[in-house]
Structure 1
Amino acid sequence: MNAPPADPVMPVAVVMEWRDDHGNRWLERRWSCVGVACGAAHAAPPAAAPEPAVIHRDAHGEQWLWRGLAVRLYRDELESYYQNLMGAAPGVFVVTRPDARGDPYPWLVTLCYDQAGNCMEVDETVHKVAMPAELYRWLEAYVLAGYAPEPRHKRQRS
């Protein structure tokens, strides 16, 4: 089996949305991640921090596009990528942190179940969104180039 390419990177953009939450007296807004777009068009200039741009606004909320993020693949996470692809709903995991105003900003985008789980264990906010077809094909090619699942063995009765 050939080794997959060393640590490939795919530029991505994240769409975050807030909506008025009139039913909650403690929260004015409810934030969610509504999607991820991928490809070179979403790359940031070198050394630039991801920046949001409002892409939709209505009376009940806004959608912000965060460009300049990237998904990086690592060989030691191949099994986790495989599990993501084989799951019922392959996903992209977007990890957010609150900014100075308390609004979330995406700081990590991953396709690795294990990395997303590790972030949740330390109380990071992790959003799962559907994996775009282009990202799925890219990840699938990477996994096929470097991973073979362990064959299942039936246990011998004694």
Structure 2
Amino acid sequence: MNTQAQIDVAVLMRREPVQGPMARWQSHRWVLDDVVLQEASFGQTVRCLRETPDASQWLYPLWPVRLYPDDAEGYWLNATSPTPCWFVMWRMIDTEGQEARAEPQAVSLSYHDAGRWLDAQETVETIAAPTDVVQWIREFAEHHYVPEVKKRQRPQSFQGLTDRFGQPASVSTTEKRKGPGGRGA
């Protein structure tokens, strides 16, 4: 049995002008524009779809999105969140003789992948996933995800008391005991 599932997607990145006070330091920025299911008409090469002096849109086709059984919890967390989404990790890449542009490095549907990328201080953006993709990851997660059984923790008030050496200790609400040689004996 094939234990992994895969779909291919295309990532659209957009360069847009920066508005407001931030424009003093940065004239434009790159953002994730969309993630769509791969179509044959997209081809296999990266290309600019639209370019003006202020903005551009780039298509990055053929990004495989694989689902693995050992990451089923990450898919479950995404599928059951208020807004299930694609996670796209991207970096600015310098191209010889051209302006640097944003290029996707990975695409995932797992909360765990996104968390690891963010922990590594990568740029990660999200965009809502379509209903059919959400249903796909939900079915995969339901088939592979087994939640951990939480063990009931015994209330602290019912646990036996021990001293710092691990010996049984007692607590009294009456007068303090006075040991041998103690005052007041």
Superposed pair shares fold, TM > 0.5: yes
Change (3 A) 1:130 1:57: same
SS at match of 1:31: strand
What is the deviation of 1:117? 1.1
Q: How far apart are the structure 1 equivalents of 2:119 and 2:127? A: 19
The match for 2:67 is: 73
- TM-score, length of structure 2 as denominator length: 0.70
Mapped pair 1:116 → 2:114 = yes
2:78, 2:84 within 8 Å by CA — same for their partners in 1?
yes
Unaligned regions of 5+ residues in structure 1, if any? 46-50
Change (3 A) 1:74 1:44: farther
Unaligned regions of 5+ residues in structure 2, if any? 159-185
How many residues end up aligned between the 2 structures?
Answer: 150
SS at match of 1:69: strand
SS at match of 2:70: helix
What is the deviation of 1:44? 6.4
SS at match of 1:70: strand
Matches within 5 A, 1:34-113: 34-39=33-38, 41=40, 51-58=45-52, 60-100=54-94, 101-113=99-111
Q: How far apart are the structure 2 equivalents of 1:121 and 1:43? A: 33
1:96, 1:107 within 8 Å by CA — same for their partners in 2?
yes
Deviation string, structure 1 residues 7-44 (Cα, Å, up to 9, x no partner): 22210001111111254222221111021111453886
Residue among 3, 7, 11 paired with 1:14: 11
Change (3 A) 1:87 1:22: closer
User: Rg larger in 1 or in 2?
Assistant: 2
Deviation string, structure 1 residues 20-75 (Cα, Å, up to 9, x no partner): 12542222211110211114538866xxxxx4322334564122111011111111
Change (3 A) 1:97 1:130: same
Q: How far apart are the structure 2 equivalents of 1:142 and 1:40? A: 23
Give the number of the structure whose residues are more often strand, by fraction. Answer: 1
What is the deviation of 1:103? 1.7
Q: How far apart are the structure 1 equivalents of 2:69 and 2:127? A: 23
Cα RMSD of the aligned pairs, angstroms, is 2.5
Change (3 A) 1:43 1:148: farther
- TM-score, length of structure 1 as denominator length: 0.80
Quote the sequence identity (%): 27
1:69, 1:107 within 8 Å by CA — same for their partners in 2?
no
Q: How far apart are the structure 1 equivalents of 2:126 and 2:67? A: 17
The match for 2:140 is: 142
